[in-house]
Structure 1
Amino acid sequence: MASKAIKILIIGESQVGKSSLLCRFVDNYYEDNKKSTVAIDCKCAEICVDGTEYKVALWDTAGAEQYRTLSPNFYRNAHGAILVYDSTRRETLVKLKQWFEDLETFCHNPNIAIMVVGSKIDEKRVVDSEEGRKVARDHGALFIETSAKCDLFVKDAFNQIVKKIVSSEHFDNRTSPNVVTLDKKKGSDSSPSAPASPSCFSC
């Protein structure tokens, strides 16, 4: 039996805490000095919005330049994107401009929900909240600050973007072409255009 999954991308520069956010949310786990993601990782979760459970496929990609060639497949059929910067490294906020451009180039969903996330707020910050909020506002995106280490506002981030996705007049969980179909029996993605990622279908 197949079930529908909402596809959400987690993007940003290397070492901004993308994987830590994902692990904290899905596995309630945090690791100091976590190694950078190689290529693509994906985890599944279920999020309840207004009494309805939604299966969510969360796609995490390496922020290193050499993995940008993965972009076309990675961005395809996405419902939402979380752009992460490190509040202790100003350059990661500045470089969100390139990630927004990549999103516009490779994602063909004009109604994609976007969130800007400032990470590592438990550490000494160099980026003020208002700076991150302005970037989000300029792109019509949601904004939140988090700490995966201290488990601050991580669930809020994922819950808010899923709520925005499913609340959109353009979203239809039954018929939307921007829906990834997961086959629970086979443990595979029936969408022919999606890149392989075994961990995405382990849930």
Structure 2
Amino acid sequence: MTNYQGGFNQNIEYIFKVVLIGDSAVGKSQLLARFARNDFSFDSKATIGVEFQTKTLLIDHKTVKAQIWDTAGQERYRAVTSAYYRGAVGALLVYDITKRQSFDHVVQWLEELRGHADGSIVVVLIGNKSDLETNRAVTVEDAKEFAERENIFFMETSALESTNVEAAFFMALSEIYRITSKKSLAVDEETLAARAAEATLLIGNKIDVPTSSTSTSKCCF
């Protein structure tokens, strides 16, 4: 269960780094603005290099801080932004449903992501600008088929109309939390098993306590 709650003061229990990737002008920055600040700008400019925003939310009653990194889609910045994949546990791979080319490039973006990030990274394929249905160039079926083939999640969004934006981020963050908490549980179980094994070795061991070196003599009367 995933819940969002703003303006609360709790100890941060998890910090998850998530990157937004995809071609330029597919709406990555608008998705981030809508999620982080519930904002949308019609005169948004292209991202230069890398920017990031944070948002704190509750997942399964745990306080999670999401660090969302917005990477530039222009080819000339790719060498710079590739360094920022390091440490990412999730990625939103965004394309524009009205631009077939942006969808065709998803293969390259996914290949680059998997080349720089951890193998267990959570990926959500995002078909943005679903409000422009009359100009659709990428079918839902094509995107679903690709997502299933690559074993990643899929969702269509509209940053303009705020459709499925929070749901898409929550989908990624909830899966990241599930994987992370599962790993933590496995580590805890291994630690407990190791301690139990150590305790077993101690059971039944006889401990000899040395007696005092001073001797006493008895005399018979």
Q: TM-score, normalised by structure 1?
A: 0.80
Greater relative contact order (Cα < 8 A, sep 6+): 1
Question: Separation in 2 of the partners of 1:135 and 1:27?
Answer: 31
Partner of 2:121: 112
Structure 1 unaligned segments of length 5 or more: list them.
176-203
Partner of 2:197: none
Q: Looking at CA atoms only, which structure, 1 or 2, has the larger radius of gyration?
A: 2
Matching of residue 18 in structure 1 with residue 28 in structure 2: yes
Contact preservation (8 Å) 2:12, 2:63: no
Contact preservation (8 Å) 2:96, 2:102: yes
Question: Separation in 1 of the partners of 2:44 and 2:147?
Answer: 27
Higher helix share: 2
Matching of residue 133 in structure 1 with residue 150 in structure 2: no
Higher strand share: 1
Question: Separation in 2 of the partners of 1:3 and 1:37?
Answer: 30
Matching of residue 170 in structure 1 with residue 183 in structure 2: yes
Contact preservation (8 Å) 1:47, 1:159: no
After superposition, the CA RMSD in angstroms is: 1.9
1:42 corresponds, among 36, 39, 52, to: 52
Identical columns (%):
33
The DSSP-based 3-state class of the residue aligned with 1:58 is strand
The DSSP-based 3-state class of the residue aligned with 1:170 is helix
Structure 2 unaligned segments of length 5 or more: list them.
1-10, 189-221
Question: Separation in 2 of the partners of 1:149 and 1:72?
Answer: 28
Deviation at 1:154, TM superposition (A): 0.3
Deviation at 1:170, TM superposition (A): 3.4
Question: Separation in 2 of the partners of 1:58 and 1:120?
Answer: 20
Question: Separation in 2 of the partners of 1:171 and 1:145?
Answer: 32
Match of 1:159, as an amino acid? F
Partner of 1:157: 168
Deviation at 1:52, TM superposition (A): 1.5
Deviation at 1:33, TM superposition (A): 3.5
Q: C-alpha offsets along residues 177-202 of structure 1, whole Å, 9 cap, x if unaligned?
A: xxxxxxxxxxxxxxxxxxxxxxxxxx
1:87 corresponds, among 94, 97, 104, to: 97
The DSSP-based 3-state class of the residue aligned with 1:38 is coil
Contact preservation (8 Å) 1:115, 1:141: yes
Deviation at 1:8, TM superposition (A): 0.3
The DSSP-based 3-state class of the residue aligned with 1:100 is helix
Provide runs of 4+ in structure 1 moved above 6 Å: none
Question: Separation in 2 of the partners of 1:94 and 1:105?
Answer: 18
